Amino acid sequence: MKNILFIMLFLSVLWSEKIGDIANVVGVRENQLIGYGLVIGLNGTGDKTSSKFTMQSIANMLESMNVKVSPDDIKSKNVAAVMITTSLPAFARQGDRLDIQISSIGDAKSIEGGTLIMTPLSAVDGNIYAVAQGSISLGNSQNFLSGTIAGGAVVEKEVNYDIYNKQGITLSLKQTNFQNAIKVQNILNKTFGEGIAKAIDPRTIKMIKPQDLSMIEFLALVQEVNVDYSNRERIIIDEKSGTIVAGVDIIVHPVVVSSGDLTIKVTKDFLDEKDSQKIDNDAFLNLNYNLISSNGKPTTIASVVKALQKMGIKPKTMVSILNAIKQSGAISAEIEVL
């Protein structure tokens, strides 16, 4: 049976973090770039001649160099058609270099040792923002159809964003929460003066910079301001590895769950310690009747998971049980399965 690793987070529901860690500046973001190109110099491991788009691409490339040839006459297996992807960081400037990812889209056996020839990379607006070229590295990967080029693209076009001359700007919280939006609003007004910040919805805070600061100075200070905010309780489950991460104080209310031939009851009733196993400081498990109890105290998710481990429950079954408990309303925390 696959082992189950349970990690408890000994943290309060209230967190204190810098605003820069919990919010983004609207408009300041990466832009995804994509391009279609050819990898050459492969040792017979490229696309077969049956890949019509690859042969046509080779013919088009040669024609741009004043060499006219029919795609049907091309028999090379040293070329592979690929897609190139990367992200253009906010405020990237002309001449900056970007790491790129290259992936085969034809029937090549491997792109190892190949060289990507000059390929324009465009954004969703259709404009070209970078040009990629270089020798492909697979690193230690066993996937021979995907590789990278460190610094393989050069920025040719910048995304204009005049942040310096702006008088107002907007923050977007990474999590939607009414209380957190008000807390950020209040701490900013307390720090920089009344009327500086205004929460307009549970995720968005509009700000007006103070007269004595530039927008760059203002944002630099805003990102360093600490705020106490409410963090939603969550249970994270990695079904493949059997890892469960949860807050230590998440309560599981009394509930009965059936999964296949297994029925489990979480209760506050007192169990006879002679007939039960102690699974942590407060909780007990009666294996004869599959009873889990903290003897009058609230049962936590930590106790339930430990009891399920004692019962030899497999990770997939445990995920089903926890989801069923959540759907019954016995757990208020959110469950996220990776």
**Distances, alpha carbon 103 to alpha carbons 34, 251, 310, in Å:** 11, 46, 45
Dist CA 184 CA 108 (whole Å): 53
Could you give the count of Cα atoms lying within 13 Å of 1 in the half-sphere of its Cβ? 13
Q: At residue 192, what is the residue type?
A: F
**What are the residue ranges spanned by the domains of the chain?**
14-27+162-230, 31-155, 234-337
**CB of 152 closer than 8 Å to CB of 99:** yes
Q: How far apart are the first and last CA of the chain?
A: 20
Q: Tell me the angle at which helices 301-310 and 315-327 cross, rounded to the nearest 10 degrees.
A: 140
Dist CA 47 CA 294 (whole Å): 64
CA-based nearest residue to 83, from 104, 100, 113? 104
Written as one string, the DSSP assignment of 99-147 is EEEEEE-SS-S--TT-EEEEEEEE-TTS-EEEEEEEE-B-TT-S-TTEE
φ and ψ at residue 148, rounded to 5 degrees: -135, 160
Dist CA 303 CA 325 (whole Å): 14
Say whether 185 sits in a helix, a strand or coil: helix
Q: What is the pLDDT along the chain (338 residues), one digit of tens a residue?
A: 445 454 444 444 456 789 999 899 998 889 999 999 999 999 999 999 888 999 999 999 999 999 999 988 888 899 999 999 999 999 999 999 999 999 999 999 999 999 999 999 999 999 999 999 999 999 888 889 999 999 999 999 999 888 899 999 999 999 888 999 999 999 999 999 999 999 999 999 999 999 999 999 999 999 999 998 776 677 777 766 667 777 667 888 888 887 777 788 888 777 766 777 777 767 777 777 777 877 777 788 878 888 887 788 777 777 788 888 888 888 877 777 77
% helix, strand, coil for the chain, step of 5? 20, 35, 45
Q: At residue 4, what is the residue type?
A: I
Neighbours of 283 (CB within 10 A): 23
pTM, entire model: 0.68
The DSSP letter of residue 140 is T
Dist CA 149 CA 301 (whole Å): 45
Say whether 184 sits in a helix, a strand or coil: helix
